[in-house]
Amino acid sequence: MMVGLRWRGMIAIVALLAVVVSACGRSSGANNSGTTQLAVTTKAGTKPVDKVVWAVYRDVNSLDPIYAFDYPENTTDSLLYESLLRQGADGSVGPGLATLTYTNPTTLVFTLKSGVTFWDGNPLTTDDVVYSLNRNIDPALAGFYPAVFTRVQSIAATASNQVTITMKQADYWFPPEMASIPGMIVEKKFTQAQGSNYGTPAGKIMGTGAFKFQSFTPGVAVVIVRNDSYWNSAVKPLVREIDIKGAPNDASLTSALLTGGINGVYAQSLTTLDQLKGNKAVTLTYGPGWYTDAFIVSDLKGALGDVRVRQALSLALDRKGLIDAIYHGTALLPKWISNPGTFGYGKSVFQAAYNSSPDMTQDLAKAKQLITDAGATGKSITIGMSSEL
């Protein structure tokens, strides 16, 4: 976690965003690995901090993990709840609330750690785990993660400290999901008592994390405080309170960072980045991002049905211009739809393949020729975009 003294704003720029388009780039011969000088994480704090105000790009909508699918909720929930497995800063997956073993490729056994307690002092049980995982696939709750459990046949407690998940077929993707939001555990009894209020401003929540819930006020902040009874004695947060606050636009965020009203933020892009650079009140840290900006061709009817038109569109894009204008240089020219920030294992293998792949570079002459060859001169396409652009 990145924190700072209240009077000193801090901002982490998530770099390595790539602007791509469906259908193939062309080689420029450049080597564009771009990750070696970036910070994977920040230095650990050494002094107690009473309160940190951390910005997210909008207000938090829910504190129920089954409805967390975006940065504001993910940021908040990751401080309050814990998953069965845990993802490291390098992308690796290891034990969390449980350790994972395999009886066979389709039988996953999660053995719960002893001594884990919720904020109310109640111990973590297999009932809590089975209940939490099943909430993801309960159609009455309409959570965001049923697709993660598509290949799950059953979830059952098979010992006092073990939960066994039987798969319909081997699923390489499922275990890492248990280190993310779908693997977060709530307390069954508490959650059932809250009913539909669970995770809303009208209700409360119950997790096992190093921080615990204090208040949820829409338009103001979600306030969480250090859990001084945290079950993992090896983890002792230095921050007493974290207020997670929505910052709806770059201007208000920048003003708050410079005046101390907000102490930190992870930002994909900021129109005011140049204003923050060099300001002694703010520390900028650049790190590898997991995001890729993609120009997606979703309808192959009309002109875009010809691959040459799609290739021409890709060749016509001024990706460097977009990077300079939108991200102030804090992004990479792409080679793949994924970028080096996502390489969590086998990094040397992926990096070598990435380095040897062609860049997606602009070539207007070739783009025009492809349009001519496709007989698409004078035809038009309709482009839709989100309000975030």
The domain boundary residue, chosen from 222, 246, 270: 246
pTM of the predicted model as reported, rounded to 2 decimal places: 0.81
Hey, which residues does 163 pair with through a beta bridge?
110, 157
- Domain assignment present for residue 270? The answer is no
Whether 73 and 199 share a structural domain? yes
Taking the C-alpha atoms of residue 206 and residue 193, their distance in angstroms, rounded to an integer, is: 11
The domain boundary residue, chosen from 202, 222, 246: 246
- Domain assignment present for residue 38? The answer is no
Whether 69 and 205 share a structural domain? yes
Q: Read off the pLDDT band of 292 (50, 70, 90).
A: confident
Query: Structurally, how many domains does the chain consist of?
Result: 2
Whether 73 and 190 share a structural domain? yes
Whether 181 and 110 share a structural domain? yes
Q: Read off the pLDDT band of 318 (50, 70, 90).
A: very high
Whether 61 and 152 share a structural domain? yes
Whether 53 and 151 share a structural domain? yes
Whether 217 and 84 share a structural domain? yes
DSSP string, 326-363: HHTT-EE--SSSS-GGG--SSHHHHHHHHHHSPP----
Which is more confidently placed, 3 or 350?
350
- Domain assignment present for residue 384? The answer is no
Provide the pLDDT for residue 43: 82
- Domain assignment present for residue 357? The answer is yes
List Cα–Cα distances, 185 to 118, 223, 242, 364, in angstroms: 10, 20, 21, 52
Provide the pLDDT for residue 22: 33
- For residues 76-111, one letter each, b for 16 or more C-beta atoms within 10 angstroms of the residue's C-beta and e for the rest, the string is bbbbbbbbbbbbeeebebeebbbebeeeeeeebbbe
Whether 232 and 348 share a structural domain? no
- Domain assignment present for residue 293? The answer is no
Whether 327 and 215 share a structural domain? no
Provide the pLDDT for residue 338: 84
Q: Read off the pLDDT band of 16 (50, 70, 90).
A: very low
Provide the pLDDT for residue 48: 96
Whether 219 and 70 share a structural domain? yes
Provide the pLDDT for residue 7: 36
Whether 237 and 165 share a structural domain? yes
| Structural domain harbouring 333 | 303-374
In the chain, where do the E strands start and end?
Answer: 9-15, 17-21, 49-56, 85-87, 93-95, 98-104, 107-112, 152-159, 162-167, 211-217, 221-226, 239-246, 264-267, 282-288, 292-295, 331-332
The domain boundary residue, chosen from 246, 262, 292: 246
Whether 353 and 220 share a structural domain? no
Q: Read off the pLDDT band of 35 (50, 70, 90).
A: low
Average pLDDT of the segment spanning 315-335: 88
Provide the pLDDT for residue 28: 33
- Domain assignment present for residue 272? The answer is no
- Domain assignment present for residue 18? The answer is no
Q: What CATH number is associated with residue 110? A: 3.40.190.10
Confidence check: pLDDT of 260 > 80: yes
- Domain assignment present for residue 381? The answer is no
Provide the pLDDT for residue 25: 31
Residue 126: closest CA among 165, 153, 74: 165
